[in-house]
Amino acid sequence: MSPKWVRQPEARPGQILAAALEEFSRRGYRGATMEGIARAAGVTKGTIYLYFAGKEALFIATLRAQVTALAELLPGLRIEAEADLGDYARTMAARFLELLMTPSIAKAAPLFIGEINHMPALRRAYLEEWMPQFSMKLAAALESAMAAGVIRRLDPVITARTLMGMFTIFVLTQEVFEAKTVTPMRLEDIAETITTIFLEGVRNTR
């Protein structure tokens, strides 16, 4: 069988991560092997070790690649004027949902949930790196909106986690647990509903 991935040195880290996601998703962390990942990536096992210290490091890097794709939405996150709040929030919600509902995220999410309590390095990456990337940056944006009077004063960290939770639980239900096979929904409708519920709770009506 010919390898799935093209051999290009500059593309190797990405190819290895893509192959690793497939293998980890198919076999689980414990069932996947470096040999199998190397075979799927079209490289030697030794080549993987040029980029990753071992299977655990590769596993965490595989999940980190998915987190990074999501985090790229956050640097431009601003809530500056009440008049723009609705349209802006719906646009960002749709973009975020579109990323969360990609097949790669659907594969990564159960891997993360399954290993977070068994892998100290993964827990550290989540608590020290990934959670700050999302919750703290989103909380900072919400804090600035509260200070400007755009949304009412609430605890920004709790508000940020509440918003993230609305998206995360919905996507887990639809994509990971495959509720979409029973109740298929348009991304635009999901974004509109989540945004409306959230905005009605935080909008400053005074």
- E strands of 3-63, at which residues? none
**Please, are residues 5 and 41 in contact by the beta-carbon 8 Å criterion?**
yes
Per residue in 34-47, pLDDT (tens digit) is 999 999 999 999 99
Structure tokens at 52: 């990753």
Asked whether the predicted pLDDT for residue 98 surpasses 90, the reply is: no
Asked whether the predicted pLDDT for residue 1 surpasses 50, the reply is: no
Asked whether the predicted pLDDT for residue 7 surpasses 80, the reply is: no
Angle at Cα 124 formed by Cα 121 and Cα 128, nearest 5°? 150
Q: Which of 68, 62, 70 is nearest to 16 (CA)?
A: 62
Chain centroid, CA 149 distance in Å = 30
End-to-end CA distance of the chain: 67
Q: Which of 140, 118, 121 is nearest to 129 (CA)?
A: 121
Domain ranges, ordered by start, for the chain: 9-52, 62-202
CA torsion through residues 72, 97, 172, 38, sign: negative
Per residue in 163-174, pLDDT (tens digit) is 888 988 888 898
Selecting from 2.60.40.1180, 1.10.10.60, 3.30.2090.10, 3.40.640.10, what CATH number does the domain 9-52 have?
1.10.10.60
Per residue in 119-176, pLDDT (tens digit) is 999 999 999 999 888 888 888 888 888 888 888 899 999 998 998 889 888 888 988 8
Asked whether the predicted pLDDT for residue 62 surpasses 90, the reply is: yes
Fold of 62-202: Tetracycline Repressor; domain 2 (1.10.357)
